[in-house]
Structure 1
Amino acid sequence: MPLEVDCPQCGTRTPWNSANPSRPFCSERCKLIDLGLWANEQYRVPGEPLDTTPIPPEA
Structure 2
Amino acid sequence: MSDPSPPPAASSPAKKRMVPCPNCRAPALFSPANPYRPFCSARCQGHDFGAWANEAYRVGANPPPDDKE
**TM class by shorter-chain length?**
0.7 to 0.9
Give the TM-score taking structure 1 as reference length.
0.75
Poorly superposed stretches of 4+, deviation over 4 Å: none
Deviation at 1:21, TM superposition (A): 0.5
RMSD, aligned α-carbons: 1.7
Give the TM-score taking structure 2 as reference length.
0.65
Hey, what's the Cα distance between the residues in 2 that align with 1:40 and 1:26?
A: 22
Gaps of 5+ in 1: 51-59
> Residue 29 and residue 46 in structure 1: after superposition, are their counterparts in 2 closer, same or farther (change >3 A)?
same
**% identical equivalent positions:** 48
1:22 corresponds to 2:36: yes
Residue from 11, 18, 25 that aligns with 1:4: 18
In the alignment of these two chains, the number of paired residues is 51
